[in-house]
Amino acid sequence: MNIASFLLPKAEVTYLRDSMTLRQGMEKLRRSGFTAIPVIDVEDRYVGTVSEGDFLWNILFYNQKPEDVSAKHLETATVRSIIRGGSVKPVCIDTAMETLLEQATSQNFVPVIDDRSVFIGIIRRSEIIRYFAERGKLS
């Protein structure tokens, strides 16, 4: 099965640039309504995924008390600085559906890259579950 038919293309995906400030990233994540979002670099390569929790833990790390949150840090640190390496691994377009199902057990979406690591979109967990449910392979 070619997973391309399940792909939500990059043009339709909300994502962050790794060079955005934490404030910019938090604002875009908040507006999106999602709890996690892919991050790409200036060459459109996938560099990771950040979540609401990643932003929160970073703020708490730099500010011992929530009332001490510094706007200065949010304006100078970049989204790249809070990406946890390897937490959401991307797949290639020729990945098997079974592999997607394995990844979808621990994340809401699976990032998809081409052979140059360029981000081309995501596959939502709901699409993966629907595929297997229609085939009677989920019980």
- The domain spanning residue 124 has which CATH number? 3.10.580.10
Tell me the per-residue pLDDT of 41-59, one tens digit each, with 9 for 90 and over: 999 999 999 999 998 888 7
DSSP collapsed to 3 states, 69-129: CCHHHHHHCEHHHHCCCCCCCCEECCCCHHHHHHHHCCCCEEEEECCCCEEEEEEEHHHHH
Spatial neighbors of 50 by CB under 8 A, at least 6 apart, are 16, 25, 29, 36, 37, 39, 79, 82, 83
Residue 92 domain-assigned? yes
Residue 139 domain-assigned? no
Binning pLDDT at 50, 70 and 90, where does residue 2 land?
Answer: confident
Does residue 137 surpass a pLDDT of 80? no
Number of domains in the chain: 1
Residue 98 domain-assigned? yes
Which residue range forms the structural domain that includes residue 10?
3-134
Tell me the per-residue pLDDT of 18-36, one tens digit each, with 9 for 90 and over: 999 999 999 999 999 999 9
Tell me the per-residue pLDDT of 74-106, one tens digit each, with 9 for 90 and over: 788 899 999 876 678 899 999 988 888 888 888
Token couple for 125? 């967990």
